[in-house]
């Protein structure tokens, strides 16, 4: 699941009302520009719990569970038969450490590049240009990693406008209303909202916002517009329903609901399967 898509769903849930008793199970397909860039995902929402499952050929490979009451995040690896559970703050702390190590590594790379610059002078022109292009990309990453940490409050949002298109469609058996989202006057995306899918009512918006803001503290730079809570008027649409189809203009990514049903979901669905080994968060994030 992409960061932007998670932000769309999370921020849409922020407009929810009082949690309801019945849950929702929603199947989606995400398509990129190339025919091979396609994956399926399934979402479970009930009583302040949100589970996102990654499917490959109908087989579950990964899952992420957000428990808003406990303010915890659980990652489940079905292939390794392992899982890890930690609070949002613990995740943010580990992410900060990861960004710091990345900055140190990029700094060392820059010092090595200075030595390489002298050696490049002896290479053929075409080969030298290729290597120089690679070096510029690495230098840009190093500069980004060294930037001071900022929070969403430090970042000015883009000017965003939402317009109803009148282009209504039916997706997975649900009627949906079309909208266009403009960022600084440029078309950013199109989204279709289905009022009959009331999944947002399962989530307490204040608790979701608390968790996501904690995670944003780990970012070393301003987060993308889609992750700034309350800064984007498009999320106000979500109080009217669920996005059954969205099309991003930049990357061309299309996310579409293929099935959505309201039903009660057992508590076991939001837990790691019996017999799965619990691993420390540092191991999941690539630490020792």
Question: Each residue of 152-203: pLDDT tens digit?
Answer: 555 555 677 889 998 999 999 999 999 998 888 889 889 999 999 998 888 8
* 143 or 185, which is more confident: 185
Per-residue pLDDT averaged across 76-92, rounded?
91
Whole-prediction pTM: 0.69
* 13 or 259, which is more confident: 259
Residue 97 has pLDDT above 50, yes or no: yes
Residues forming beta bridges with residue 29, ordered by sequence position: 40, 256
Residue 130, CB half-sphere, CA atoms under 13 Å: how many?
A: 5
Residue 206: exposure state from Cβ atoms within 10 A (0-12, 13-18, ≥19): exposed
d(CA 63, CA 80): 12
Write the DSSP symbol of residue 46.
Answer: E
Output the pLDDT for position 2. Answer: 45
């Amino acid at each position: 699941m992409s960061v932007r898509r998670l932000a769309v769903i999370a921020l849409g849930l922020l407009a929810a009302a009082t949690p309801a008793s019945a849950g929702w199970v929603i199947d989606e397909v995400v398509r990129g520009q190339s025919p091979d860039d396609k994956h399926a995902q399934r979402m479970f929402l009930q009583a302040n719990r949100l589970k996102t499952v990654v499917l490959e050929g109908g087989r579950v490979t990964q899952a992420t569970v957000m428990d808003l009451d406990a303010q915890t995040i659980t990652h489940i690896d079905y292939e390794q038969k392992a899982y890890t559970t930690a609070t949002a703050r613990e995740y943010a702390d580990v992410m900060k450490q990861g960004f710091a190590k990345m900055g140190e590594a990029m700094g060392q790379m820059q010092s090595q590049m200075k030595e390489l610059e002298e050696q490049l002078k002896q290479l053929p022109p075409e080969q030298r240009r290729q290597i120089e292009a690679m070096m510029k990309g690495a230098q840009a990453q190093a500069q980004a990693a060294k930037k001071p940490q900022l929070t969403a409050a430090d970042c000015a949002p883009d000017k965003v406008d939402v317009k109803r298109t009148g282009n209504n469609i039916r997706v997975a058996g649900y009627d949906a209303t079309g909208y266009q989202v403009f960022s600084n006057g440029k078309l950013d995306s199109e989204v279709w909202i289905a009022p009959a899918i009331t999944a947002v009512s399962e989530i307490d918006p204040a608790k979701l916002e608390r968790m996501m803001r904690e995670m944003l503290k780990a970012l070393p730079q301003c987060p993308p517009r889609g992750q700034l809570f309350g800064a984007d008027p498009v999320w106000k649409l979500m109080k009217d329903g669920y996005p059954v189809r969205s099309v991003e203009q930049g990357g061309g990514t299309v996310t579409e609901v293929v099935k959505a049903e309201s039903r009660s979901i057992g508590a076991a669905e939001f837990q790691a399967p019996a017999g799965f080994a619990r691993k420390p968060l540092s191991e999941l994030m690539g630490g020792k």
